[in-house]
Amino acid sequence: MLNKYARAFFTRVLTPFAALLIRLGISPDAVTLTGTAGVCAGALVFYPQGEFFWGTVVITLFVFSDLVDGNMARQLGRSSRWGAFLDSTLDRVADGAIFGGLALWYAGSGDDNVLCAVTIFCLASGQVVSYTKARGESIGLPVNVNGLVERAERLVISLVACGFSGLHKFGVPHIDILLPIALWIVAVGSAVTLVQRVVTVRREAAEADAEERAVPQGGETR
């Protein structure tokens, strides 16, 4: 849902900014690299210290680069396999930094091994969810499924919860409970999404294999 509607909205909003960057001679790849570096810095510098509000502010400023670089490439007519590969690869790096920063907090000053484990599961399951789709497509399957919690949902749920939880340091009572709740939601949702994709790939693979076997046996299909 977020991929379909929110991405379209922010793409329209960020189009003038993308055009400005093009006029300044900045390349889409440079935006991709800068955005990923900013997200990693925000997550790995602020989150392990428990500075969830300011960390989320920094991450949010840079995370929109994921929309800006693609917008720039389309305006320039330079959409390419390399650009898609770089963007997808660095998305995984950024996701790892966000959940890695949270895991460092819970393993250290946050002092909660259970939530540390849940955060690590969010990190790992998110990577595997992305891998299942990429691997399925690489063997010629469409992987035609809309998962319950995909990357956009994982980021929004986690970052919104982090940002609001950070208000605890500004004196807002009990709001820090939002982050543990969000992490459990992301963990469960990612597990469900993983099962959805695995089941879909298994079904599509079985159908594709059956079609291939049917051609030599029955000759020309009708």
Catalytic positions = 91
Q: Does the annotation flag 29 for ligand binding?
A: yes
How far apart CA 212 and CA 156 sit, in angstroms, is 41
Q: Does the annotation flag 111 for ligand binding?
A: no
Residue 32 CB-half CA count within 13 A: 20
Q: Does the annotation flag 219 for ligand binding?
A: no
Q: Does the annotation flag 69 for ligand binding?
A: yes
Q: Does the annotation flag 188 for ligand binding?
A: no
Q: Does the annotation flag 32 for ligand binding?
A: yes
How far apart CA 218 and CA 211 sit, in angstroms, is 10
Residues near 207 by Cβ (< 8 Å), separated by ≥ 6? none
Q: What are the tokens at 162? A: 């982090």
Which of 202, 198, 220 is closest to 211 using CA atoms?
220
DSSP class of 6: I
Which of 152, 144, 145, 141 is closest to 192 using CA atoms?
145
Q: Does the annotation flag 107 for ligand binding?
A: no
Q: Does the annotation flag 80 for ligand binding?
A: yes
Distance, first Cα to last Cα, the chain: 37
Q: Does the annotation flag 193 for ligand binding?
A: no
Q: What residues form the annotated binding site for a CDP-1,2-diacyl-sn-glycerol?
A: 29-32, 70, 74, 80
Q: What residues form the annotated binding site?
A: 29-32, 66, 69-70, 74, 80, 87, 91
Q: What residues form the annotated binding site for Mg(2+)?
A: 66, 69, 87, 91
